[in-house]
Amino acid sequence: MKPRITLLAGGVGGAKLAEGLASLCPPETLSIIGNVGDDQEFHGLWVSPDIDTLTYSLANRIDRQQGWGLADESHRVLAGLERFGCDTWMSLGDQDMATHIFRTQLRRQGVRPSAIAQSIAEALGVTLNLLLPTDDTLQTRLRTDQGWLAFQEYFVRERCRPEVREVRFEGASEARPTPEAMEAIEEADILLIAPSNPVASIAPILAVPGIRRALEATRATRIAISPLIGGHTVKGPADRMLAAMGYPSSSLGVAASYAGLIDGLVIDVSDGADRPALEAEGLQVMTTATLMTGAEEKTRLAEETLAFAGSIQQAQEEAEA
C-alpha cells in the first residue's frame, strides 16, 4: 500500500513542495493542509492568498514568474476600484477576482470554508485533498515598529520593511480544527512540514487547538524541510521573523520552532555545518540542495524527502524488532 502523506504548507515554498509531491504520489494518498492566517477581506471579498497559491500552483495555472496569482492575468477590476478611491495595494487580478467572488458568495451562504477551498481546487482540476486547518477565522497579526498590522499589510503593502516584534494569531484560541485536517495528521504515514516560513506560514496552522497535539501524537514519521539556504530565506522574511521570535536565524532556529513535532529535518547543503548540533538534539538530518527553481527540482526534493522518511521508518522498525 502506498504511504499516506500529509503536508503542512504555506507560501510559495510550500506550494512548490506540494507540486513536487503531487508529481509523485497518487492524489488520494496526498493531503495538504494550508495556511489561512494570511486571509483578509478586500473590497468586501474574502481573499485567501496562501490557499490560492497552493491551488493555482497545483492546477499549473500559477504565474511562474512571480510565484503567486494566475498566469496571463489582467487588472481591470482593480483599475475600476481605484477609480472609486479604493486602496489597491493588494494586487488582485481579474481571473483571480472570480475566485474571491465565488468564495465570498459561498461563505455568505454558510458553506464551510474548507468545502469551498476543495470546490475551487476541483474546479481547477486539483484532485488531491486540499485541507484547511480550521473553518473558523484565524488571522495573523504582527506588532511592528509601525503598530499592529495584518499579514498582507506587512507583507504586501509595507513590503516586509517594518521590524516585527510580536506575532499573534487572532481567533486561534476559539478556532476548531477541521475533522479532515485532524484525520490527515492522525492517519498519515509520513507527515511533512514544507520549506515555508515557520512563523508566518506554519505557526498559524499549529496555533489551531488540537493540531499541535495531533502532530505530537501521530504515529507518522515527521520531517520538516528548512526554508533557509545559508541561514537566509530565498524569498520573504522568514529569517527575520525567526529572529524576532527569539529563535536563531538558522536551521537550528527552524528545528527549535518545531521542537517536539519532528523526527527529522532536511537542510540545504550550504547549512551542512549545523548538522552536528541538530543531531545532538536527537534529530535525523538529511543534507541536500533545497532550492526549487524548476519542476525537476521540486520532484527531486520531494523524492529525496520521502526516501529520507522511509529510511527513518525502516530504522525505527528495525530498532523495535
Of 78, 185, 194, 306, which one interacts with its own copies (CB under 8 A)?
78
For position 71 contacting its own copies by CB under 8 A, the verdict is no
Nearest residue (CB) to its own copies, 123 versus 273: 123
CB contact set of 53 (below 8 Å; sequence gap of 6+): 11, 12, 14, 15, 62, 67, 68
For position 124 contacting its own copies by CB under 8 A, the verdict is yes
* Per-position x/- string for 30-59, each x denoting binding to its own copies as judged by CB under 8 A, each - no binding: -------------xxx--------------
Q: CA of 121: how far to CAs of 73, 128, 154, in Å?
A: 18, 9, 27
Three cell numbers, residue 214: 495531533
For position 115 contacting its own copies by CB under 8 A, the verdict is no
For position 311 contacting its own copies by CB under 8 A, the verdict is no
First-to-last alpha carbon distance for the chain, in angstroms, is 21
Q: Which of 223, 228, 222 is nearest to 240 (CA)?
A: 228
Q: Give the separation between CA 105 and CA 214, rounded to whole angstroms.
A: 32
The piece of 74-82, 145-153, 178-186, 240-248 that touches its own copies (CB under 8 A) is 74-82
Three cell numbers, residue 178: 477541521
Nearest residue (CB) to its own copies, 55 versus 178: 55
For position 287 contacting its own copies by CB under 8 A, the verdict is no
Q: Give the separation between CA 102 and CA 106, rounded to whole angstroms.
A: 6
Q: Which string of DSSP letters, residue by residue, matches 39-108?
A: -EEETTEEE-HHHHHHHHHHTT-B-TTTSSSBSS---HHHHHHHHTT----S---HHHHHHHHHHHHHHH
The piece of 8-16, 19-27, 117-125, 284-292 that touches its own copies (CB under 8 A) is 117-125
Least distance (Å) from its own copies to the CB of residue 83?
A: 6
Nearest residue (CB) to its own copies, 95 versus 311: 95
Of 23, 27, 28, 86, which one interacts with its own copies (CB under 8 A)?
86
For position 120 contacting its own copies by CB under 8 A, the verdict is yes
For position 270 contacting its own copies by CB under 8 A, the verdict is no
Q: Give the separation between CA 311 and CA 233, rounded to whole angstroms.
A: 28
Least distance (Å) from its own copies to the CB of residue 292?
A: 28
For position 63 contacting its own copies by CB under 8 A, the verdict is no
Nearest residue (CB) to its own copies, 130 versus 225: 130
Q: Give the separation between CA 148 and CA 168, rounded to whole angstroms.
A: 10
Binding site for its own copies (CB under 8 A): 43-45, 74, 76-81, 83-86, 94-99, 101-102, 104-105, 108, 119-120, 123-124
